[in-house]
Structure 1
C-alpha cells in the first residue's frame, strides 16, 4: 500500500471523489498573511524598508486579484454569449 492509503492496483471507483464547490472557480485563493516579524534588532530605516516592501506586495496581490476577477467574469460572459448564440441558432434551424 502507498502513503496515500491506496494500493497500486486501485480502480477509479476506489479513489475518493472530491466534490467541487460551485463558486470555487470564481473566487481567487485567499491571501495568506506572513507571520509577525521580529524586527526589534533592526534599525528604523531597515524597518521602514521592510514595511514598504510588504505594503507593495499587498498592493500587487490586490491588483492581481482584481485582474483574476476580471478575467473570470469576462470568460463567464463570453461563455454565456456563445451558449445563447448556439441556442438561438438551433431554434432557427428547427423553424
Structure 2
C-alpha cells in the first residue's frame, strides 16, 4: 500500500488509463475473474475483505497490468516492424 501512496497523482492517472481498448477490456475481464462474475443488473454484489487480502488483490491486478502493458508494447513493436517491412524501399 505504501507503494501506491508514494505515487504521484499523474502517475496513477497514467497507469489507470490503458493505451488501447483491448488492454482495457482484458483488465476488466481479469478483475471480474478475480472478484467473481455475477452480473450487476441481476445481483446486488457487495465485497468485503480485510487489508491483507485487499493488498493481495491489488498486487495481482498490478502484475496483470504490467504483463498486459508489456504485451501491448510488444504488439505495437511488431506492428511497426511489419509496417517497415511492407514499406517500399527508397533508393
Q: TM (normalized to structure 2)? A: 0.50
Higher RCO (CA-CA < 8 Å; seq separation 6+): 2
Greater gyration radius: 1
Higher helix residue share: 2
